[in-house]
Amino acid sequence: MEPTLTWIDLTASDRDKMRRVLDLFTEKGTLDEMGLGSLRDALSDTLFPGTSYIQTRLRYVLFIPWIYQRLEIRRVSGSSVEQAGRKAEIDLIGSLRRDDPDADGIIGVLARGSLQRLPSSLYWTALRRWGIFRHDQSQSWYHTHYSTLSQSRDGIDHADDPGVVWTREPNWHQRLPKPPDAFPGEASFSLTREEADFLQGRLEERCAGTLLGWLARNGSDVLAADFWDDVDAMRAPGNIPNTVELARRFSLHVEGMPLLYNLLVAERCRDADVKDTRDSIEEYRAKITAWAAAEAKETQYEPEALWELVVRSGRRLPTPQRLFVENWSRRLPELDPDVVAGDVHLRRLIIDRERQLKSERARLANRNRLLDWRPGTGVGRMDFRWVRVRQFMIDLHRGLAS
């Protein structure tokens, strides 16, 4: 039977949070078998605020306000705005598809009319965080208060008009570039110079002191596969290099956790005669040894700096999560790389952690759960959304050069 997740009588804010959690299950490489997601997200938000794995191309942060501005101008009713916005976003898929037959980055290109998560919901955090949507509120709040907000838009003057006394907050940034004349019938992901200038200014102002804000002004459209290897990131000022190194080191240090977890599951599958996993077992043993050798070349990992960052960001640091990482960090330096895969203490640490997180649904304790295991679950280094941010920076700097 397919697993399901149900919620009843949640607030709009709760629904938005739950949807962001569900989106992670559709993104390759974000499965969190060892409960490290909040640590990954704390670093990601510090480096790249407003971003997420489920975003694709930068120009969506202009498409969405352009769509809603059209609805405001047309005086679409509050009871119809959500449906009208949905139709406009679905229609946008066809416009983008005509411009890009390869559909690179088009959200909903396969689902079309059945699309559940619209681009506006995926990018709303960016719109708020970057100051493009001027109210620090959710999309659900905007829909709920749309009638009042759209009626007041005609009374708002430009910010640079002399003598203006501000009595209302505009819905959208007053310097938001106007959409192309052919929009939304025609659309592409290529930013104009004006649009790129505007977005660069938003990122510089609202993300000052972060790697995202630095790269918006000082980066380029030629970027390394990992941000900790990027030449522009390496010359960032202030505390940014420290955060970059914190992310790089944490990513390497915990890479062995999902590898060891997958090895243990493969061994359980073999012992329970569920699947033939002989090749997987040998593969994981080799990968763990190679990873442990790379880890051994680094200075011993000390997690205190990460704990401080988590606390500064206002996030919780659950004691079981903290102890899990600290026990892992304490044991590794005591082992030679070629014995890490078989270490009893590390194996017990992984087994106990999964049981702690999943209870009776833990694969290492429930034979039936072995049936839905796929080799490679959660494997790979954390990239802290760099795959998305990298594309954003390519889009931005190509627009600036246009």
Q: Report the pLDDT value the prediction gives residue 154, as an integer from 0 to 100.
A: 53
Q: Is the pLDDT of residue 380 over 70?
A: yes
pLDDT value, residue 145: 93
Q: How far apart are CA 367 and CA 63, in angstroms?
A: 48
- In whole numbers, what is the pLDDT of the chain averaged over residues? 90
Q: Say whether 138 sits in a helix, a strand or coil.
A: coil
Q: Name which of 381, 397, 386 is nearest 224 in CA terms.
A: 386
In degrees, rounded to 5, the angle at the alpha carbon of residue 331 between the alpha carbons of residues 329 and 336 is 110
What is the predicted pLDDT for the residue at 151? Answer: 78
pLDDT reported for residue 152: 61
3-state secondary structure of 75: coil
pLDDT computed for residue 153 by the predictor: 56
Round to whole Å and give the CA distance between 260 and 254. Answer: 10
Q: Are 171 and 134 in contact (CB under 8 A)?
A: yes
The predicted pLDDT at position 103 comes to 73
Q: What pLDDT, in 10s, does the model give residues 43-79?
A: 999 999 999 999 999 999 999 999 999 999 999 999 9
Lowest model confidence (mean pLDDT) among 65-79, 94-108, 353-367: 94-108
Taking residues 355-375, report their average pLDDT: 94
CA distances to 66, 96, 110, 159, 189 from 103, in Å: 21, 8, 9, 38, 11
3-state secondary structure of 207: coil
pLDDT of 12 strictly over 80: no
Predicted pLDDT of residue 3 = 44
Assign 3-state DSSP to the chain and report helix, strand, coil percentages, each to 5: 60, 0, 40
Residue-level pLDDT at 207: 98
Mean pLDDT of 228-237: 96
Q: Please give the model's pTM, rounded to 2 decimal places.
A: 0.88
Question: What is the spatial distance between Cα 61 and Cα 172, in angstroms, rounded to a whole number?
Answer: 11
Query: Is the Cβ–Cβ distance between 264 and 351 less than 8 Å?
Result: yes
* pLDDT, position 270: 95
pLDDT tens digit string along 272-298?
Answer: 998 899 999 999 999 999 999 999 999
Tens of pLDDT, residues 242-253: 999 999 999 999
Percent of the chain, pLDDT > 70? 88
pLDDT, residue 354, reads 97
pLDDT tens digits, one per residue of 308-337: 999 999 999 999 999 999 999 999 999 999
What average pLDDT does range 258-274 have in this prediction? 96
pLDDT at 161: 41
Q: Above pLDDT 90, what percent of the chain?
A: 83
Q: State yes or no: pLDDT of 82 exceeds 50.
A: yes
Q: Which residue, 119, 58, 104, 60, is CA-closest to 398?
A: 58
Question: d(Cα 49, Cα 42) in Å, to the nearest integer?
Answer: 10
What's the whole-number mean pLDDT along residues 122-143?
97
